[in-house]
Chains A and B, each alone.
Chain A
Amino acid sequence: MIDKHLSTIDRRRLVKPSAYGGLVIILFLLPLFIKSPYWLHIFIITFVFIIATVSLRTIVISGQFPLAHAAFMGIGAYASAVISKELGWSPWLTMLLGGLVATGIGVLIGYPFARLRALYYAMVSLFFGVGILQVFSVFQKWTGGYSGLMGIPRLLPAATSKLPYYYFFLGLTTICLLALYRFEFCRIGMALKAIAQSHQVASSVGINEARHRVLSLAVGCFFVGLAGAAYAHYNLTLSYTSFDMLATLWLFMYALIGGIGSFAGPIVGTAVLFIIPELFRGLKEFLPYLSAAILFIVVFAMPQGLVGLPQLVRLWFTELRKRVTHAS
């Protein structure tokens, strides 16, 4: 019995990393088969949003629902773009600075917001996200206001195609996901999950609730700010409407569609919601209906999200087999 138990743990220890590693190798070799710059662009955008969604989940596991996450992506993107454009610093440095600025603002609002819970936290952070975008548009001289920010320095000035960018974003995503995975399954991550289950019990065993919640916000904001900054230096133009309330809600959609209960969920959800609509690009203006259809199918048929699909299929099969044997 014990042996069997151990062997399942060993198998899991081997299977999971090798599956993730295999996925990275496949993605590494993918440009050999996909030459189209358009598809490389889609993959790069998907990578950026995978970082954003997984870092959102890092905050959500502590029981907070920050409806300002896309705004933090905007903070990182604008901070990095404005600093590198106005001061002429290297984008590689300002990218990190963008992440740090997002972290700083996250910590600053994190402490006062830590007295709010559940819905109240979600709503106040939503108002913060809406307000910070208005602040962006007030400082028109630097951020470009409604017409958007243009002329952002390139991350890789020597690059002639999208290929170097593809490998850069693949590497960035891998590193960020490894860091976030380690964070979730270390002692602090466990404390965060304890707070989400019951903040009274967590406090009673000596977990400082406010400090842990601010820490998770800081980590999430750093990675989303970094992703936003890298995106700014790749895309070269920024419009602050792409970081508004609806963008935050879409980040939640990616996580919920994939299944917010597991680490792989947000990754699967983002990939599905970005890549499947692109396969049907011919639909043109009817394309958003496809995204809506995916949302409706998943929410009606799969309560656990897409990650729960294999389990669901297994369940259907056993039901079916039972019914068949019953009939015969």
Chain B
Amino acid sequence: MELTATTFVNMLVLSSMYILVALGFAFLFSIMGILNFAHGVIYMVGGYICYQFAVEYGLNQWISLLLSVLIVASLGLFLEKFCFRPFFGNLNRTIVVSIGIIVVLENTVNILVGTSTRSLPAFIPGVLRVGATSLSAERLVTFIIGGALLAATIWFIRNTKPGQQMQAVSQNVEGAALQGISIHRVSALACVMACGLAAVAGCLMGAFLSLTPFMGDYMLVKALELVILGGIGSMGGIFFAGLIIGSLDATLPLFISGAASQAIALGIIITILLFRPQGFFGREAK
């Protein structure tokens, strides 16, 4: 019973974190047409900035989370303006730029903090008891924050004017521009949101697992899996794929070792994609 409850909570936590990162990646891909391989590193930097404020400078952890999100979001604004905008729609060159960003950010973290594993203290320490089962309060809080942010993002996209503009641009860039939507402003907004969401996920995962300079690679692969499996251009697909991959990652390690479970999860994903290349809810494969 306790194992089932813990696994269920783990599944929810992993799914919500994966979806947070993947949603940002999908924004950048569908709105600006770039494959931002640096998204994992941005997530890692978010976690490290929070660590720096909370542990090294002794600030309140929630304030340092907020500061981290602000700093990473402004980094996103900078990246959009100077790195992605000059190559709008040119896939090859934006990949080169994103690798350059990976090198710069990863090396900066290595120099300033070092390559050893760090860990953020729990945001809310303690154990929650429900009847006979006990759950870590930390994980529940992580899931609640993740879920709330996701709901807020969906509401923003669906119901506000800038959000609808983002949708329009992701459907048809020229058409949106003809309607008087400023493409650059929309893509700047998308980049800021993507980086901010990644930073939140980085801080929460840093407390949930631990911080290493290479944690971004793992998350980047997860984000790619979610976006491709869910279907490019479909937000519901990302949620669906996130739940599937999150539950695979939460349950498979119970039965087999970590590396084998990763290999099996990837095998399942590849098999699904071979039969349905456009993902669950994707548009026609081009």
* Residues of A participating in the B interface, judged by any CB pair closer than 8 Å: 112-113, 115-120, 123-124, 126-128, 130-132, 134-135, 137-138, 244-246, 249-250, 252-253, 256-257, 260, 285-286, 288-289, 291-292, 295-296, 298-300, 303
Contacts and interface: CB of A to CB of B under 8 A. Distances in A.
Given A116-B273, A256-B95, A285-B111, A126 B100 contact: no
Contacts, number: 110
A296 to B, nearest CB: 5
Contact of A245 (B97, B217, B259, B286): B217
Contact of B97 (A128, A138, A299): A299
A262 B95 CA distance: 19
B141 interface: no
Main secondary structure, interface of B, reads helix
B99 interface: yes
A138 B103 contact: no
A112 B86 CA distance: 37
A250 B106 CA distance: 15
B96 A127 contact: no
B107 A289 contact: yes
B270 interface: yes
Interface of B: 35, 37, 86-87, 92-93, 95-97, 99-100, 102-104, 106-107, 110-111, 217, 220-221, 224-225, 228, 232, 257, 259-260, 262-263, 266-267, 269-270, 273-274, 277-278, 285-286
B259 A138 contact: yes
6 contacts: A126-B221, A127-B225, A134-B259, A134-B262, A292-B103, A298-B96
A245 B111 CA distance: 23
A124 B270 contact: yes
A42 B37 CA distance: 28
Contacts of B87: 299
B270 A127 contact: yes
A134 B263 contact: yes
A127 B268 CA distance: 10
A114 B223 CA distance: 24
